[in-house]
Structure 1
Amino acid sequence: MSASILPTSIASPDAPIDERKFVVALARGLELLRAFRPGETLLGNRDFVERTGLPKATVNRLAYTLTVLGYLRFDDTFGKYALDAGVLSLGFALLSGNDTLELARPHMRSFAREVGAAVSLGCRDGLDMVYLETIRSETALTLGLASGSKLSMLTSSMGRAYLAVQTPDARAALIADLQKAAGPDGPALVTAAQREIDAFATERCCYSFRDWHDDVNAVAVPFREPRDGRWLVLSCSGPASSMGKEVFRERVAPLLKQLARRLGNTA
């Protein structure tokens, strides 16, 4: 089996892959859907080839199949593909059927009002963290990222917190993939992320001070979902110009840890 089909970025650290049961064609089709990034509406075959590393002929067949099944839609005007309703229905099923998310929403609203910032709940998606929900206070000035938005695992507090609670082997494999994907900036990004990951043992949270965005500070706390034990991450972000490091260390982080303990089992 080709190594490109089974990267650490897809494999779950809690469920080793049994290659006898793994359906390569299905994995390749899902990689096409994952190729879309936040804010992108149209991708062509060349985009799919570049982002997945799959041969053009394979991309053509997969895109056609996903179009027939209602997961992609071909735009004749631009000669490119857009995500279709089938993907939306899967996302809606995930969000509407998530008990933890339903439980978290009222607590997140209270937290956002009390702190005056944005609070988000997210989980891993490949080499990124994806937002399941974001709630902002009426006074929050930080960037508003909607459900489905993705953040780098290396530069975001949410991603660093997720990495911090993985087993050493799983974390090392993920970091290797992250460094490779980051290109020339990889070593510096890994070094910055590793400092926060190492500090988790005493801090029980991870920070990102202007690392993800020049005017955004953030803190994140991981917890295990009670129902199935997967790791989710709560994060709080605010403008660095008005919410400095001390605010996050002394006020925001303790409150976020309390919220995480209400929702699941913290590390």
Structure 2
Amino acid sequence: MPSTSIGESGLSGASASPDGVDERRFVVALARGLELLRAFRPGETLLANRDFVERTGLPKATVNRLVYTLTTLGYLRFDEPAGKYALDTGVLSLGFALLAGADALELARPHMRVLAREIGAAVSLGCRDGLDMIYLETIRSETALTLGLAPGSRLSMLTSSMGRAYLAVQEQDLQAALLEELGAAADKSGENGARLVKTARNAIADYARDGCCYSFRDWHADVNAIATPLRDVRNGRWLVLSSSGPASSMSEAYFRDIVGPKLRALAARLG
């Protein structure tokens, strides 16, 4: 689902500043431009103006101006044969800057590689971006055929183990507000928001009991996944470690009993 949240605690769309934010200092035009860039979903390379309008809820005239500005600045590129827009090198440079400055990622990478080899499953590190979780790194097992999304990929906070683990460690008020916004966004995209929120709440209860959140065939019919959060103290944010593999060959019990304790131990060392 597309992201509609602005900022860490924002609960409104791109057309207004989030609740609790000083509107005198909040630049709505900038927020709208960033929301336009977030309209791209994993696997998508081209979007038309009407796609931006549908996903952001912004007026067509506003989208036209934002697209022109972002194209001029090198964040979007117009593909003439397709008549659509693609992300350009400006976005890529921002992503590389984020990854280059991620001390926690540099620290985590060799440990993730060892764990992936040991458990025969992919190990990933991610963080929140709006209403999604974005992958910072994925290490695939060298000893087995494993799944794993590439850095920059996004997952729904509601259906992914990574997103559920992030929700599990938020303050109660923020957690409730996020779940409400996520449910509304799911309904808007044609999904059953109430059902997804209920499943996410169950996963949050799993964290209270097990120290991990699960997504067993929820995100994809043949993917099992587990995640646990860790605090990146230096950058003042929550990161999430996750592991995933084919449900057909890696059972729920394997992730609960074998992967879970190892993932929690790694999160404790890194955090």
| Range of TM-score over shorter length | over 0.9
Name the SS of the counterpart of 1:211 in structure 2. Answer: coil
2:14 maps to what in 1? none
Q: Distance in 2 between matches of 1:86 and 1:125?
A: 18
- Residue identity (%): 73
**Alignment pair present for 1:168 and 2:168:** no
Aligned-pair CA distance for 1:10: 2.1
Where in structure 2 are the equivalents of 1:1-267 lying within 5 Å? 9-13=5-9, 16-183=20-187, 184-264=191-271
Q: Distance in 2 between matches of 1:256 and 1:134?
A: 14
Q: Distance in 2 between matches of 1:182 and 1:139?
A: 37
Aligned-pair CA distance for 1:141: 3.1
Q: Distance in 2 between matches of 1:187 and 1:120?
A: 28
TM-score under structure 2 normalisation? 0.91
Deviations 1:178-237 (A, max 9, x none): 111111411111111111102222211111111111111111010110202200000011
Q: Distance in 2 between matches of 1:10 and 1:136?
A: 32
Runs of 4+ in 1 over 4 A off after TM superposition: none
Structure 2, unmatched stretches of 5+, are 11-17
Q: Distance in 2 between matches of 1:69 and 1:240?
A: 44
Instruction: Give me the CA root mean square deviation.
Output: 1.6
Name the SS of the counterpart of 2:105 in structure 1. Answer: helix
Q: Distance in 2 between matches of 1:166 and 1:140?
A: 35
Q: Is the 8 A contact 1:11 1:17 kept in 2?
A: no
Q: Is the 8 A contact 1:140 1:238 kept in 2?
A: no
Q: Distance in 1 between matches of 2:221 and 2:83?
A: 37
- The AA in structure 1 aligned to 2:182 is L
Structure 1, unmatched stretches of 5+, are 1-5
Q: Is the 8 A contact 1:118 1:140 kept in 2?
A: no
Q: Distance in 1 between matches of 2:116 and 2:91?
A: 30
Aligned positions, number: 258
Q: Distance in 2 between matches of 1:71 and 1:154?
A: 29
Name the SS of the counterpart of 1:213 in structure 2. Answer: coil
Aligned-pair CA distance for 1:238: 1.3
Q: Is the 8 A contact 1:36 1:43 kept in 2?
A: yes
2:15 maps to what in 1? none
